[in-house]
Amino acid sequence: MSAAAQILLVEHDPEERRLAARVLGDSGWQVREVGRARECLEALGRGGDFVVLLDLDLPDLDGRELVARIASAHPNTPAVVVTGIDDVAVAIDAMQRGAWDYLVKRPDGSHLAHLHHVVARTLERRQLVRERNRFRDEMEALAIALRGTTDGVAIFDPRGRISFVNRAFAVALRRPESEIVGRLLDDFVQVPGDEATLDDVLAAVGEQGRWSGELRTQGEEPPQGIWDVTLTPIGCPEPVAGAALPSERRMVGIFRDVSEKHALEQLRADFLSMITHDIKVPLTVILGYTEMLTDPEPPPGQIPPDILTRIRESGETIHALVCNFLDLSRIEAGRMTLDPRSFDVQGMLAHAVEHYESTARRKGIALALDGDPLPPLIADESQLQRVVANLLANAIKYTPRGGRITIRTERENGRVLISFEDTGRGIPADELPHLFEKYRRVREQKRTEGTGLGLFIAKTIVGAHGGDIRVESTPGVGSTFTLVLPL
Ligand code: ADP
């Protein structure tokens, strides 16, 4: 018996009402008595946990209509008809309108002995309905979560035959769900390396109750298609024909795509080895030449005439690497600040040309500054110097001996355009859209030193000024990087 449930007895005949109330009261139920449909609806409207027992013969409303109103306004409140009308058609009509049960009154009062069972049965049924509703709600919530989650979810038997996949997993495997269900997990993923097979993993789930680790999409090379996976058995142990262990059950797998994390880790590892190499080379130059300079008796003819320029350039290479690295951490921490002041752009460019002149000359590259005179620019001069230095150093780095680099200035519709035009190796068209991404480097047969950070930083700095960098390039002919800055 539900502790909180009360009986709402709707009976117009006072004598019958009294008798029924007494029988129910004797069975331990709390009984509220009313004589009209209106009073019944008012009582339900005030709230409470009721089972309604109602006669069809009411003075203010047909009892079947009352059943219908209860069913629509209080669907969780069971209404049981207790009536003298012993007619199957009426009973069916009442049940169709929402009655939970139908008990016929007997003139000898024998039906009263059944009242207790009818109420108990109704409460039991209500409990089942509530549980069913709760399960349905939970199922709906789970279905929404499964549909909405970005993690892949799959259910499969102990041999790995898939019976369910959610949309996220199907999208990640680039196949419709219908092409995945029924096939083996083995067809889509594998254990990285060759120490274990997927069968070993599935057996481990059966033995240990759970498995976590990484799996790889078939056919994709790391760092792509890497999944962080948790496999857990579900449901009651069921005997599965052909399965090795009788306790093996179906499993659910949660697949989190960690390819991007792996790619980033790979990039960082490459970056570290790159930066170590790129610092080591100029450092060796500096140490070698300074040793020569400090040797009291240097070997004759070994000291190059431009030894100091070479030492300075090597120092600058290390300085630029460190600056780029610091800029990157500032950008990533959101700490890049601008200090805009009015300054002479042409003067700044002339100074940069002067600075890189000797390096360019040594590589046999002609360096020129050309174009319109420009008005003073309000911007962060030292940050823009870094942008110019990155673009100019790139132009020199990626232009072979005998080439030409021209810096052109131009005014156009309230903007300043500064272009760095080189006759270097150029950039393949498919690389251009990605050129300004962090750590991005164009694949090359013989590696040139660099970290893939210069253009990313330059673009971020120029963007912070409300400007942009454009690039045009033809492989084997040359590249033009253009800074566009608002005046
Ligand atoms: P880094 O030069 O350190 O690799 P950047 O971000 O400055 O990094 O440049 C990214 C890539 O763009 C370079 O690796 C290079 O392949 C390409 N690149 C940049 N500037 C030029 C240029 N002027 N000519 C040809 N390729 C260039």
SS (H, E, C) the chain: CCCCCEEEEECCCHHHHHHHHHHHHHCCCEEEEECCHHHHHHHHHCCCCEEEEECCCCCCCCHHHHHHHHHHHCCCCCEEEEECCCCHHHHHHHHHCCCCEEEECCCCCCCHHHHHHHHHHHHHHHHHHHHHHHHHHHHHHHHHHHHHCCCEEEEECCCCEEEEECHHHHHHCCCCHHHHCCCEHHHCEECCCCCCCHHHHHHHHHHHCCEEEEEEECCCCCCCCEEEEEEEECCCCCCCCCCCCCCCCCEEEEEEECHHHHHHHHHHHHHHHHHHHHHHHHHHHHHHHHHHHHCCCCCCCCCCCCHHHHHHHHHHHHHHHHHHHHHHHHHHCCCCCCCCEEECHHHHHHHHHHHHHHHHHHCCCEEEEEECCCCCEEECHHHHHHHHHHHHHHHHHCCCCCCEEEEEEEEECCEEEEEEEECCCCCCHHHHHHCCCCCCCCCCCCCCCCCCCHHHHHHHHHHHCCCEEEEEEECCCEEEEEEEEEC
Residue-wise pLDDT for 440-468, tens only, equals 888 877 777 777 888 998 999 999 999 99
In this predicted structure, the answer to whether residue 376 has a pLDDT above a threshold of 60 is yes
pLDDT band of 469, cuts 50, 70, 90: very high
Question: What percent of the chain has a predicted confidence (pLDDT) above 90?
Answer: 61
Determine whether the shortest distance from the Cβ of 478 to ligand 1 is under 6 A: no
Determine whether the shortest distance from the Cβ of 122 to ligand 1 is under 6 A: no
Determine whether the shortest distance from the Cβ of 450 to ligand 1 is under 6 A: yes
- Is pLDDT larger for residue 413 or for residue 122? 122
- Is pLDDT larger for residue 384 or for residue 218? 384
In this predicted structure, the answer to whether residue 280 has a pLDDT above a threshold of 70 is yes
- C-alpha 220 to ligand 1 mean position (Å): 28
Average pLDDT, the chain: 89
In this predicted structure, the answer to whether residue 355 has a pLDDT above a threshold of 50 is yes
How much is the average pLDDT of 411-416? 90
pLDDT band of 59, cuts 50, 70, 90: very high
How much is the average pLDDT of 264-287? 82
How much is the average pLDDT of 415-424? 96
Determine whether the shortest distance from the Cβ of 405 to ligand 1 is under 6 A: no
- C-alpha 467 to ligand 1 mean position (Å): 20
Which residue owns the Cα nearest ligand 1 atom 19?
A: 394
Residue-wise pLDDT for 156-178, tens only, equals 988 899 999 999 999 988 899 99
